[in-house]
Structure 1
Amino acid sequence: MESELQGAQKMAAKHKKSNATVEIESTLSADAVAALCQQLAPSVQGVRLEGATPGRVHFSIRGLGGFSELMTFRVDISDTPGGSRATTRIESFKTTQETIMFIPVTPKSLVGYRSYRNFAVKLGEEVQRDDPSARSVFTERPVAGAS
């Protein structure tokens, strides 16, 4: 069996897990949540902080050696009357699929998804550690027609 790594997919491409997101509501300020995002990245295998702009923190998931970009995602953070709201969003990704003589024998796998999911869940846990009243929900939203 061989594994076929397919190129980075832009928003038009679909994978059944590409809409997975964590939604966090907290009494912490947006700046405090952004700081937690930036502090968390080094502790999650493969996740690298790429930069931040007002209301958004950008990350990538890299392969061994840090050269190959497997996935990019962001955390959007906004102030609310009671604190802040944060959501994650996968921006680009690569897939892999086992084949035998070019015939697919397994479903496509979203490369880097485990690291993305770990980051999202840990972010929710970190926010809840600092704000026990925070609400954090990780959702895998299926994409219609995705493989």
Structure 2
Amino acid sequence: MYLVRTGAVALERPLEDGTTLTLHVATAGTALAEASLFAETYHCDAIALSPSQIATMPRANFLSALRDRPDAALSLIKTHAREVQAQRGRIEILRLRRVSDRLDAWLDVHGKPEKGEWIRVADQIGVSPPALYRELALRRRLLKEA
């Protein structure tokens, strides 16, 4: 079991077309790769998005702690419930056809990203960075014309 102490770590799966699919981003104070608790292998790579510190705990110890500490188990369930809600929101965004609609939906939930994070937005809404940058340029141009 892994816990991100500081930083941010993405779970990414390489795809056959050479791109990667980001399945989850764990930030400080959150668990990473919990699904591996019940699997022999986990078919993702953990990629540090920023300088990060990770704590590890053997699987048997972690499962024992969950059995012995119901509060820890409930905390994990709460975290997973939030993650399920976030994934459902992401699925809703990915079902939208137009880049503009996907971007609007993402911005409604997350607000404007920090400088340098637009490339992560492209990944999260399932479009290429150039497609997102074209949409952003169009919006800037329309704003100037208004």
Q: With structure 1 as the length reference, what TM-score do the two structures score? A: 0.27
Whichever structure has more helix as a proportion of its residues is 2
Larger radius of gyration: 2
Larger RCO, structure (CA 8 Å, separation 6 or more): 1
